[in-house]
Amino acid sequence: MSFDLANNGNDKEDRKYYDRNKGDDLQISRTDMNMLIMNYLVTEGFKEAALKFQQEAGLQEPALCSSLDERIMIREAVQTGRIPDAIAMVNALHPELLDNDRYLYFHLQQLQLLELIRGGRAEEALAFASATLAEAGANDRNALTELERSLALLAFPDPHASPFADLLLPSHSQKIASELNAAILKMENQEYTNPKLCSLLRMILWSQNELDKHNIKYPKMTDLANATIEKPKHGRRL
Amino acid sequence: MQQLTVFMDIESSRSYIDELYSPDAAKVVEALVTLKNSVIGSNRQKSSVIQQGVVPRLLQLMSDESLDPNIRLEATITIGSLAKGTAENVSSLVEQGTASALVELLKTSPIGTKLTEAGLCALRSVFMHPPAPIASLPADMRLLTRLTQIAREGSPTARACVVRILSIWCCGAGEQEALCAANACSAAAALLGATPAASTALPALDLLAAMCFENANVSQIALSTRYGDKPIPELLTTLVCRDKPLAVAMGAARCLTFMHRAGALPADDNRVVFGALPCLARLCTKEMPEDIRASAAETLAYLAEVDTSLQRLAAISNHLMTSLADIVNCQSPAAKQGAFKCFASLGANDEDIRKRIIETHGLMVHVVNGMNNPEASVRLAAVRCLHSLSRSVQQLRTTFQDHAVWKPLMQLLNDSPGTELLTVGSSTLCNLLLEFSPAKEPMLDQGAVEMLCSLTKRPEAALRLNGIWALMNMAFQAEQKVKQRILCCLGTEQMFRLLGDSDTQVIMKTLGLLRNLLSTRHHIDAIMSEYSSQVMQAVIVVLEGSYPAEVKEQALCILGNIGDGEKAKDLIMANEDVLRKLVDYLVQASEQSWGPTSTEYVSRAIQWAIDEAAEGAPGEQAAGGGAVRGGQPGVARRGGRGRAAGAPRGPRRAARAQAAARKARRRASARQSEDGSGSV
């Protein structure tokens, strides 16, 4: 009782914020969570994981789109550096895609260039860049900057230790693979080309941004991956 | 070097091009796939392949029905990729007969196959490059029916392609009717109805708009075409909502606009008033991207061009005026011209709106700048806007004068402009030359008379009309030297030519010019002393010719004016022909062989002419009798205007005529026996 009284003032203040350690009226059903995860697996093309998850979570047969198998193979090809294969598969699946989205095509070719650089085949890399990538670079400012960054890797004895080493990380090819995946889904008139989980996280970032703009103090999620929430420092309250 | 196959230069891989001609089907397919992968994504490769003359072989592989379907498919896809290259690439493809070959392919290939889809994609790419090879797609009923069937039943990609192709193809009344007969309306409705994605809804909206544009028949059919239980206007109304993508909302509002202007939806229809109009006003606001704002402003201009209630409504919708004033500042010519056109429509009929346009948004500076814009379409739109605003008496005397708008206008008109600009510009001139316009004097100095006289010699009736009308306005209550200059510059020969014009309006205005020239006693005597025989001849020509009553009325009014001259009236008295004619008319009039109103006017005019001539009343009294005289021409003028309003050649002209009639009535009491200088 006395504890309650002592903390009364503080308590009131804290109530204004959502306390994630407390149970409350905002129930989120398990099915909703599962559906979000399933949506993530399907749109990102994790087919086996999706099927496994469906079994374990006891979900209904997921609506796998027709191109799921192809998309998985294309993603694999991109992430393992078999770019010509990936391009050939995309062309077989959607012949108009890479003609319509030249920037995406450039990104695939850039990956190819990076593969050559990674393999230390500088001569070939230069020949390849001037034969194919130069065209995209001449038409698009963004592409030109990215091309320059990629070719700059050649100037370093150890590209992995250069300022542009990020291009050689797997995360770069993963990013392009997702870009390609989204483009294919868009081509197939899918409603959402990005996983819905992705949009939810975006929404959090957006609202935090808006709050920051108005200089409002609130418990901020600083690390999305772990959902870490930092308490607000003193300031204007919500 | 294995990995390099995809991006190898075409020159270094001559071998697989040779394989295209191999008898071995498997080798051909392989070569085609390699070729395809090398051209996709690279314009350089496309140009190189086309230069090497591979296209005819590809077309052959595509069209040969005896070949392996895979070969045909890959060849078609490769052609499709080539068609996504540069403009030169596409035109060289078309020259080599690609469009016709694709159309032939579509005639036979089964619906729902990949080959059909690839063919449609390729044809769409070809059509998307202007100028589209429209002639390669004949208006053949069987083919069109087949295409609309694909638009209803094909794969989503095939449907979107077909509808896009048809929307580009449909550019005339013949195509509109043919498509309508091939059931394209219901195909479009189906694409709009079933929760459409933007990629299929957009071409469907474009097709619908292209079919309904200025076509009452097709619009009427579209009005009653249903998908499920919803007719097309309902479907469109759901698409103009805020939650739809901007381009879709824009397209739907354009369709509703076109259906309204083609007469299928009345101006007070909810789908226009609460659907298209607010949507367009919203799309003009600051938050929207520039290209959407540009087309929204232009569409809104078309929507509100004629109907005054829509103009009033638009003017108070969603701060439209502020949005438009902001669009005028955009860089792109399309946006500028859209905004000017929209201002022109808003201010077409309502004086209050005109006032608000000018006063609240300081538009005049922009209009003057617009008239000097390097882009012809912007100049035209700026002049349109100026024309609309020039209908305001107040603005003519104030803002127009402050900004000396006549200067850039005269410059534009003297700078050998296109017919359209000349028409709108000369209409504006008519208004600037009204007797109360301060711009009249400086324009005379700038050679307006000479320019207008040359306009009366143009082959286009509208230009002749504007020229003679402006001259008529100029002559109204003008000084004698101005009148002399007009007569001298126009020449009596040209005047006779105009009296024989095929357009009655031109004849009316020519006679009106004569009336205005022949006013004020000593002007009459001065002019008649020089041109008596020609003027009398002109009057006799009109009185004896087979002209409508209103034209003869004008001639009689001229006689009346002549009768007011000191010496000039002797000319009438001496002319047996004229006197006999007058008596004839009186008899005819009493028998009421003409319409009751014309009879009244004509008989009054005759009475008056005879009174003037016979009485020979002293000058003072004649002038004192101005009240009587003033009444008569007032009546005559109103009659003339009334008829002009009753028989409009276009809605715009009707609006002009109404405005002119209003003005004429307002000033009627102050008039001499002159044809009023009406605003256009």
Please write the tens of the pLDDT for every residue from B196-248: 677 788 999 999 999 999 999 999 999 989 888 889 999 999 899 888 889 99
Strand-pairing partners, residue B226, are B231
* A89: nearest CA partner in chain B: B37
Residue B332 pLDDT greater than 60, yes or no:
yes
Phi-psi region of B489 (alpha: psi -120 to 50; beta: other; left: phi over 0): alpha
Tens digits of residue pLDDT in B468-487: 888 888 888 888 888 888 88
pLDDT for the residue B146: 92
Strand-pairing partners, residue B230, are B227
B459 found inside a domain:
yes
A19 found inside a domain:
no
Residue of B73, B56, B70, B49 whose CA lies nearest to B21: B56
Two structure tokens written together for B661: 């009639």
Strands A220-223 vs A228-230: parallel, antiparallel or unpaired:
antiparallel
Higher pLDDT pick, B395 / B221? B221
pLDDT for the residue B433: 83
Pinpoint the alpha helices (H) of B456-548: 461-475, 480-490, 492-499, 504-517, 521-544
pLDDT for the residue A220: 86
* B124: nearest CA partner in chain A: A96
Number of domains in chain A: 2
φ/ψ of B281, rounded to 5, equals -60, -40
Question: Would you list the DSSP string of B229-298?
Answer: TEEHHHHHHHHTSTTS-HHHHHHHHHHHHHHHHTTSS-TT-HIIIIIIHHHHHHHTSTTS-HHHHHHHHH
B650 close to B340: Cβ distance less than 8 angstroms: no
Tens digits of residue pLDDT in B72-84: 999 999 999 999 9
B153 found inside a domain:
no
Same domain for A181 and A199? no
Residue B66 sits in a domain whose CATH number is 1.25.10.10
Strands B226-227 vs B230-231: parallel, antiparallel or unpaired:
antiparallel
**CA-based nearest distance B7→chain A, Å:** 7
A120 found inside a domain:
yes
Give the CB-side neighbour count of residue B313, counting CA atoms within 13 A: 24
Nearest to A189 among B33, B36, B156 (CB): B156
Same domain for A146 and A72? yes
A178 found inside a domain:
yes
Residues 6+ apart with CB under 8 A from B205: B188, B192, B239, B248, B251, B252, B254, B255
* Chain B CB contacts of A191 below 8 Å: 197
B96 found inside a domain:
yes
Can you tell me the distance from the alpha carbon of B261 to that of B214, in angstroms, rounded to the nearest whole number? 7
Residue of B604, B519, B530 whose CA lies nearest to B563: B519
A35 found inside a domain:
no
Number of domains in chain B: 2
Can you tell me the distance from the alpha carbon of B245 to that of B601, in angstroms, rounded to the nearest whole number? 60
A14 found inside a domain:
no
- Judged by a CB distance cut-off of 8 A, whether residue B669 touches chain A is no
A55 found inside a domain:
no
pLDDT, mean of residues A100-115? 92
Q: Which of A168, A187, A206 is the last residue of a domain?
A: A187
**CA-based nearest distance A194→chain B, Å:** 16
Give residue B291's pLDDT band: very low, low, confident or very high (50, 70, 90): very high
Stretch among A169-183, B122-136, B438-452 having the lowest mean pLDDT: B438-452
Same domain for A139 and A159? yes
Which B positions 35-94 lie with beta carbon below 8 A of chain A? 36-37, 40-44, 77, 80-81, 84
B633: enclosing H helix or E strand: helix B626-646
* Chain B CB contacts of A102 below 8 Å: 41
**CA-based nearest distance B261→chain A, Å:** 34
Residue A106 pLDDT greater than 90, yes or no:
yes
Q: Which of B98, B119, B137 is the last residue of a domain?
A: B137
Tens digits of residue pLDDT in B483-514: 888 888 888 888 888 888 888 888 888 888 88
Is the overall model pTM greater than 0.90, yes or no?
no
Residue to test with chain A: of B1, B2, B3, most A Cβ within 10 A: B3
φ/ψ of B61, rounded to 5, equals -60, -35
- What is residue B132's DSSP assignment? P
* A190: nearest CA partner in chain B: B197
Domain span holding position A202: 195-238
**CA-based nearest distance B320→chain A, Å:** 29
Can you tell me the distance from the alpha carbon of B131 to that of B110, in angstroms, rounded to the nearest whole number? 29
Domain span holding position B22: 1-137
Same domain for A181 and A85? yes
Residue of A191, A194, A193, A184 whose CA lies nearest to A93: A184
Nearest to B9 among A92, A100, A131 (CB): A131
pLDDT averaged over chain B?
A: 80
B28 found inside a domain:
yes
State whether ipTM is beyond 0.85: no
Q: Return the sign of the alpha-carbon dihedral for residues B112, B113, B117, B119.
A: negative
Instruction: Compute the count of residue pairs across chains A and B with CB atoms less than 8 Å apart.
Output: 60
Determine the 3-state secondary structure of B403 from DSSP.
coil
Give residue B2's pLDDT band: very low, low, confident or very high (50, 70, 90): very low
Q: Do B197 and A189 lie within an 8 Å CB cutoff?
A: yes
Beta strands, E only, B38-124: none
**CA-based nearest distance B391→chain A, Å:** 49
Spell out which chain A residues touch chain B, with contact meaning CB-CB distance below 8 angstroms.
83-84, 87-88, 91-92, 95-96, 98-100, 102, 105, 109, 112, 115, 124, 128, 131-132, 135, 189, 191
Same domain for A182 and A97? yes
Higher pLDDT pick, B307 / B8? B307
* B195: nearest CA partner in chain A: A191
Same domain for A85 and A164? yes
Same domain for A178 and A73? yes
Give residue A11's pLDDT band: very low, low, confident or very high (50, 70, 90): very low
Percentage, residues of chain B above pLDDT 90: 32
A21 found inside a domain:
no
Two structure tokens written together for B505: 């309006």
Can you tell me the distance from the alpha carbon of B638 to that of B665, in angstroms, rounded to the nearest whole number? 7
Count of Cβ atoms closer than 10 Å to residue B622 Cβ: 21
Same domain for A163 and A121? yes
B215 found inside a domain:
no
Give residue B614's pLDDT band: very low, low, confident or very high (50, 70, 90): low
Give residue B365's pLDDT band: very low, low, confident or very high (50, 70, 90): confident
Q: Which of B137, B153, B182 is the last residue of a domain?
A: B137
pLDDT for the residue B221: 92
A179 found inside a domain:
yes
Tens digits of residue pLDDT in B620-655: 222 222 222 222 222 222 222 222 222 223 333 434
Q: Which of B120, B137, B154 is the last residue of a domain?
A: B137
Same domain for A162 and A221? no
Can you tell me the distance from the alpha carbon of B434 to that of B428, in angstroms, rounded to the nearest whole number? 10
Same domain for A208 and A137? no
CA distances from B528 to B220, B487, B519, B629 (A): 58, 12, 11, 21
Residue to test with chain A: of B4, B6, B48, most A Cβ within 10 A: B6
B281 found inside a domain:
no
pLDDT for the residue A3: 43
* Chain B CB contacts of A95 below 8 Å: 36, 40, 77, 80-81, 118, 121
Stretch among A12-16, A204-208, B56-60, B160-164 having the lowest mean pLDDT: A12-16
Residue B391 pLDDT greater than 80, yes or no:
yes
B465 found inside a domain:
yes
Can you tell me the distance from the alpha carbon of A148 to that of A73, in angstroms, rounded to the nearest whole number? 30
Count of Cβ atoms closer than 10 Å to residue A89 Cβ: 18
Same domain for A83 and A125? yes
Can you tell me the distance from the alpha carbon of A92 to that of B304, in angstroms, rounded to the nearest whole number? 49
Question: Would you list the DSSP string of B511-528?
Answer: HHHHHHHS-SHHHHHHHH
B595 found inside a domain:
yes
Same domain for A134 and A164? yes
Residue B116 pLDDT greater than 90, yes or no:
yes
Residue with tokens 């091009």: B17
